[in-house]
């Protein structure tokens, strides 16, 4: 099985602890999707743009806002400019509670989740995120 042979969620975040907790919260919700990781927007965009024929696109992208190299805002704008990648559902997931960050993502029709402090709250956030998954991305993309 290749890295992306099964349906998966791409989590883009530079904080390894946050990624581990989110993965555990998805698992606690019975998530059957694989969870792949990119440490920033540059890595995520590179991986997505280099998806090979027969590989799946992610069913969901969980995007941190504040990251090195390419942050979540720039990453989202790049995704939305790409005719193929723009079809992937995206949710923003950040420690930021800035109204400006929330407004930026909401204006682009992207749900914004503030990273919670407690695991039971994270389980609830993860359950809501799973509703955004696009099951049609379970089929290999056609080039």
SS (H, E, C) 85-107: HHHCCEEEEECCCCHHHHHHHHH
> What pLDDT shows up at residue 5?
63
Count of H helices and E strands in the chain? 5, 5
> What pLDDT shows up at residue 136?
61
> What pLDDT shows up at residue 134?
73
Length of the chain in residues, anyone? 143
> What pLDDT shows up at residue 72?
94
Burial (CB count <10 Å: 0-12, 13-18, 19+), residue 127: middle
Q: Which residues of the chain have pLDDT under 50?
A: 1-4, 138-143
Q: How far is CA 62 from the centre of its chain?
A: 2
The answer to whether the pTM exceeds 0.95 is no
Q: Look up residue 69 and give its DSSP letter.
A: S
DSSP helix/strand/coil, 137 = helix
- The CATH topology of domain 8-138 is Rossmann fold (3.40.50)
User: Which of 41, 28, 24 minimizes the C-alpha distance to 85?
Assistant: 41
> What pLDDT shows up at residue 84?
87
């Amino acid at each position: 099985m290749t890295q992306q042979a099964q349906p998966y969620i791409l989590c883009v975040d530079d904080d390894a602890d946050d990624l581990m907790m989110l993965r555990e919260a998805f698992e606690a919700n019975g998530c059957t999707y694989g969870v792949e990781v990119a440490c920033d927007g540059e890595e995520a965009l590179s991986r997505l743009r280099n998806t090979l024929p027969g590989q799946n696109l992610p069913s969901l992208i969980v995007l941190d806002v504040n990251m090195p190299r390419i942050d979540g805002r720039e990453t989202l704008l790049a995704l939305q400019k790409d005719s193929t990648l723009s079809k992937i559902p995206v949710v923003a997931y950040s420690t930021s509670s800035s109204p400006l960050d929330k407004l930026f993502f909401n204006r682009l029709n992207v749900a914004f989740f503030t990273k919670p402090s407690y695991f039971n709250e994270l389980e609830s956030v993860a359950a809501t995120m799973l509703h955004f998954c696009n099951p049609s991305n379970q089929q290999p993309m056609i080039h």
